[in-house]
Structure formats: C-alpha cells, structure tokens
Structure 1
Amino acid sequence: MRPGPLNLITDVPGLRVGNAEDHRVKTGATVLLADRLFTAAVHVMGGAPGTRETDLLAPDKTVQEVDALVLSGGSAFGLDAASGAADWLRSQGRGFAVGDQLVPIVPGAIVFDLINGGDKDWRENPYKRLGAEAAAKAAGGAFALGTAGAGTGAIIADLKGGLGSASVVLPSGHTVGALVVVNALGQVTVGDTGHFWAAPFEMGGEFGGLGPAPGFDASQAPRHKGGPGQATTIAIVATDAELTQAQATRMATAAHDGMARAIYPSHTPMDGDLVFAAATGERPLADPVWDALHLGHAAALCLARAIARGVYEATPGESDPLPTWQQAFG
C-alpha cells in the first residue's frame, strides 16, 4: 500500500472537501460532499456523541445515500452547520425529492471546543453560516490541515488538536482516505515526548518521522484534559469501492481501530468518538469478503495517520490555551 497523490481524503475520486473558520471564535466547520449521492454509514464508540441524522444511516432505513457529511465544532450549537450545508445544497438543486420539494440528506457530528480561548459571546451562533460557507468552498484537490475547518478550535490533553487527513491506494486499485477532527480527551503523543502513538503506521515522514517512542511504560496512567463533555474525535473514512450500507458500516467499525492506535486513551465515556463511512461506488469489489476486509484495515491505517497529521499540522493563534506540536517539539 502507498499514499495517494495528495495523501488526503480527496484522493478518492469525486470527493470534495470545504473548510470554513472563525478565528475570533476559534471554531469552524468542514463539509465532505461528492459529485453525486454516495452511500454512507456510521459507527459510534464514544460515550458522549453529538450527532444529526445518524439513525438514518442504519442499513435497514429507507434512505441509503446522502448528499454530504458535516464535521463541526461548537458542541450542540455546531449541529447548525449541517443545516447551513443543507440550505446551500438545496440552492444548488440537490436533495431527496419529496413531491415538489428537495430535502438534502446531511448527517453531521460535532466536537466540544467551547473552552479554548475563543470569544463565544455570540448573539446568534455562527455554525449555520460556517456550514454554508464550507459547502460552497468544497472542491477536489488539496485543502488545509491542522488549524482549519472543524479542527480550528480543537485541543487534546496537552497540545492543540486539529483537522487531519490521509489516504492509501490498495493493491486492488481501490483508494481509501480519512478525514478527522482531533479533539480528544487523551494524548496523541507518548508521555512527555513528541513521538506519536501512530508512529508505526507513518508513511514518508508525514508527521515528523520520529518513529516510535523508546522505552515507554504503557502501564502509566494517561494524561487527559478537562471534564465531562469537553472532548471528542470525529472522522470520516471514504473509498471509491462499491459498498452496501451494511458493508460501509463494517468499514466504519473497523476504522475505530485506527483511533485506538493513535489516541491514548480513546473511546472514553467523556468522548463522543464517531466514524462515518462514505463509498462512492466507482469500483466494484472482486471479492466481497476479502476486499471488504482489506478496506477496513486500510481505513484504520488511514485514520491513525490522519489523527497524527491533524496535531502535527496545527498552527498557533492568539490566546491558545495549549501549545502546538511544533511549538512543543518542532
């Protein structure tokens, strides 16, 4: 396996990503959409999720495809970002047809970034605007990582978090990518070092090339931040494979292994850890069993790498409560 040309989720043909930020508030939104409807699924392992329309993504529900997926800061306020994206999509003539009405299907998830040094004294929360702006900016190709989009205000136990992405091309020709907002309760680096937990899976020095931390005792109690409700890592894993919603659900489930490899601890009662899966259906599976297994493994690999990249790429801002990785270890 090797990274795609951009090492981003947009290496999956047809996918587009848009970011919008408000650096005064220290928050933002990220929208993933495609040239046409795509199959989507979800798996939640955190104890404190914040979501919109995730029940619709179960394999037994009527709607099997969606128009977009939205990741946002803002805790419950941030769920409005999906409404903004839906409004923009409707203005473009997209949505599920019900009589003479179009209803865009836009599931979303949020992280808690309300205690990060930004100005939250708004009269009207900014997330509907940010969701619409991110959708309007969505494009194929490169996009910003780190302090960008929904990762703008993210923090982890001891460092600034951020928006991460990575991709891989399988021997079968399928492409898999990950997009993640790293706002975890726990650590992404090992103890007091700058070594990432995801180091064994790094490709081409994409987050510093330091390798695994030497001699760390994993029995030591991990550091964590804040209190209940102040965390969450949310992600999307995507592929150009042709998957049913049930197969996409298995890919999302497998991808959580990547979160557990990259964050210490992960899936806690105070995190709302969640993974969406997206499948554009451009490449059939030659073997539905073994190809699906390899897609799940690749999704976990990409997600672990994307988490490390999100923290590695973060940049400093005014009144940040924590340093970036580059400030602490660069």
Structure 2
Amino acid sequence: MKNLLTDISGVRVGHADDAALASGVTAVIFDKPAVASIDVRGGGPGTREATVLDLQSTVEAIDGIALSGGSALGLDAAGGVQAWLAEQGRGLRMRGAVIPIVPGAICFDLLNGGNKAWGRFPPYRDLGYAAAGAAAANFALGSAGAGLGATTANFKGGLGSASAQTEGGVKVAALAVVNAVGSVTVGDGPWFWAAPFEIGGEFGGRGLPPSFDPDMLRARLKGGPEATSAENTTLAVVVTDALLTKPQAKRLAMIAQTGMARAIYPVHAPLDGDVVFAAATGEKPIDPLFGLTELGMVAANVLARAIARGVHSATALPFPGALPAWKDRFG
C-alpha cells in the first residue's frame, strides 16, 4: 500500500494548480460509479451537488469529486471534471443523455498572496478539467492541487492522504485539504494532535509533548477576531472497497468526521466549512453493525493521519508575510 487514497482499487487522483494564482484543484476519479454520501459539520461550507448525496435523493452513485480553492468561485471546478468525464462517455445515462455526477467542495484561499485578478471568469473550470485528465495512482502531497493555497492558524496547510485496512482486510483511505481556522499542531511546537495515530513516522514521529501547559490549549485562530465564516474549511474524501448502501456511506462519513476532531484544534467551528465525502467501490461485503463500526473507527484514524500529513508535507508560499511550513521550523 502507498498510504494514499489510490490504495483503493479503481480510484485515481489528479492535481492542477497555478503557482502565481496560489490556488488549484484536485479531482478524485472513480473508474466505476461509487455509492456515496456526505457529512457537513462546519458553519460555512461551500458545496456543489451536495443534495444529490442526501439519503432522500434518487442518485445512488457518483463518477468523481472535485475539491478546489477559490471559495465559491472554485465551484466551477466540478464543471471541468464533468467535461472530462463526459468526453470519456462516463455518467448517468438518461435515454440519449449522459450526465457525469460530480459533487464538489471548496476552500477559501483568496487572501494568501496569489494573483486572483483573473478577469471575467475564474480559472477553476479549466483547472478541474486538467486535474481530471491528470488523475493517476500516484499524486503529490502538501502544497499541490486544492492544497496549494491552503493555510491553518499557524502553519502552511496542504493536501494529505493516508490509508489502512481493518482486521478483516477491508481497505479504507482518506484525502484531506487542510485549510482550517484552527491548528493541526499542539501550540506552536512540532507535535501533531494526530500523533497517537501516526504510523511509521509519516508526519515526523515527534509524538505528543511530555506535558501540556495552558498556552498549548488556547485557541489559535486564523485571522483572529477579523476572521469570517467564508475563510476556512477542511475538505475530506474517505473511500473504502467495502460494499455499502447509501445510508451506510452516510454513517461512514459521520464517523470519519471524528478524525477531524483528533487532528484539528478547534474544529467544526462557525468559522469552518468542514465536509467529508464518503464513497464505496463495493468489492467486499461487511457486517452492517460491527463491520461498519470498525470501518468507521479505522476511517477516522486514517483521516486524522491524512490531515497531519497535509501540513507536514506542505511548503510555504513564496509571498511576503506567508505562513511558514512545518518543515521550515522543524524539518
């Protein structure tokens, strides 16, 4: 296993970004339609086609997911991913029509120093198309794709991924774009809140501090009192090779949100837009009670690790006043 979302067979990931723009798009492409749902916990989400994933909606499966910077302007990215899928003949067939089903979510990266003077139309549709075309088994972590412009309260944010499997061999993997209002580290030190779940030194192997003082536990919020609900979010995609119904995928997304609470401090705030997509490729049947509970437990751990890896792998933006990367301080 590569410790990536693409450890799930039939899943590919692609990035497209622009260094001058300091923003980008990440596309998750399913080789076959995947049963999916969504769980939203933050107070300021930005999503496209989220209602398709509601349990009362008719559509069961999706063809891809678009994650983007650009705040609400980045929702165009899903249209680019749709265009690429349509060229491949992929999508929901309605008599003679083919409609790719591509939910999306965005994070705010408009104040990170990049040149956002793009003219009449934002570039995210074209970036979404390029990201879908670049989808592959291997992909970059850190400051890439939708994670290029991401930040946290004290360090550069980024895109992370991780994977694991249950004792019965069911795989689950996560991808996270970490643009949180809070912090992924304990205070301003080298320790990640997700340290108890780290495997093999994947984000530095620093563990937790020997003790906690009040300063470590105070709120570190990006933007301070001037922060607004539109400025932050953590976006996550959790995929498993289990055979799940749409309600079970919803439950998986809900349990996986626990991983955000293990990795970000504070989280699910009115200043965040935290979103978890959960998808299942349907290869392995599981017990609907114990099996789904165990899968959710592992998914939450994997998501916590992916969040820490996103910050650990990031590189600072080359602009005056840009936040340092974790590796600038502790690498």
* TM-score category (smaller protein): over 0.9
The 2-side partners of 1:65 and 1:293 are apart by 22
Q: What TM-score comes out, normalization by structure 1 length?
A: 0.96
1:280 aligns with 281
Are the aligned partners of 1:196 and 1:213 in contact in 2 as well (CA < 8 Å)?
no
Q: Which amino acid aligns with 1:314?
A: A
Q: Secondary structure at the match of 2:177?
A: strand
1:211 aligns with 2:207: yes
Are the aligned partners of 1:191 and 1:216 in contact in 2 as well (CA < 8 Å)?
no
* Cα deviation, residue 177, structure 1: 0.1
2:296 aligns with 296
Name the % identity.
55
2:39 aligns with 43
The 2-side partners of 1:212 and 1:27 are apart by 32
Which of 18, 21, 31 matches 2:17? 21
Are the aligned partners of 2:31 and 2:63 in contact in 1 as well (CA < 8 Å)?
no
1:53 aligns with 49
Question: Structure 2: where are the runs of 5+ without partners?
Answer: none
Which of 77, 95, 100 matches 1:99? 95
Q: Secondary structure at the match of 1:281?
A: strand
* Cα deviation, residue 169, structure 1: 1.6
1:131 aligns with 2:132: no
The 2-side partners of 1:31 and 1:174 are apart by 24
2:221 aligns with 224
Q: What TM-score comes out, normalization by structure 2 length?
A: 0.96
* Cα deviation, residue 14, structure 1: 1.0
* Cα deviation, residue 99, structure 1: 2.7
Aligned ranges 1:265-276 → 2 under 5 Å: 265-276=266-277
Q: Which amino acid aligns with 2:158?
A: G
User: What per-residue deviation string (whole Å, max 9, x for no partner) do you get for residues 206-229 of structure 1?
Assistant: 000000122113683211111112
* Cα deviation, residue 13, structure 1: 1.0
1:75 aligns with 71
Q: Which amino acid aligns with 1:62?
A: T
User: What per-residue deviation string (whole Å, max 9, x for no partner) do you get for residues 119-158 of structure 1?
Assistant: 0011121100110001011112x21000011000000001
Are the aligned partners of 1:19 and 1:30 in contact in 2 as well (CA < 8 Å)?
yes
User: How many residues get paired?
Assistant: 324
The 2-side partners of 1:314 and 1:52 are apart by 27
* Cα deviation, residue 316, structure 1: 2.8
User: What per-residue deviation string (whole Å, max 9, x for no partner) do you get for residues 97-122 of structure 1?
Assistant: 12311111100000000000100011
Are the aligned partners of 1:44 and 1:274 in contact in 2 as well (CA < 8 Å)?
yes
The 2-side partners of 1:22 and 1:161 are apart by 16
Question: C-alpha root-mean-square deviation of aligned residues, in Å?
Answer: 1.0
Q: Which amino acid aligns with 2:267?
A: S
Aligned ranges 1:163-182 → 2 under 5 Å: 163-182=159-178
Kindly report structure 1 stretches of 4+ aligned residues shifted beyond 6 Å. none
The 2-side partners of 1:317 and 1:48 are apart by 25
Are the aligned partners of 2:173 and 2:302 in contact in 1 as well (CA < 8 Å)?
yes
1:244 aligns with 245
The 2-side partners of 1:187 and 1:288 are apart by 35
Which of 2, 5, 11 matches 1:6? 2
Q: Which amino acid aligns with 1:273?
A: D
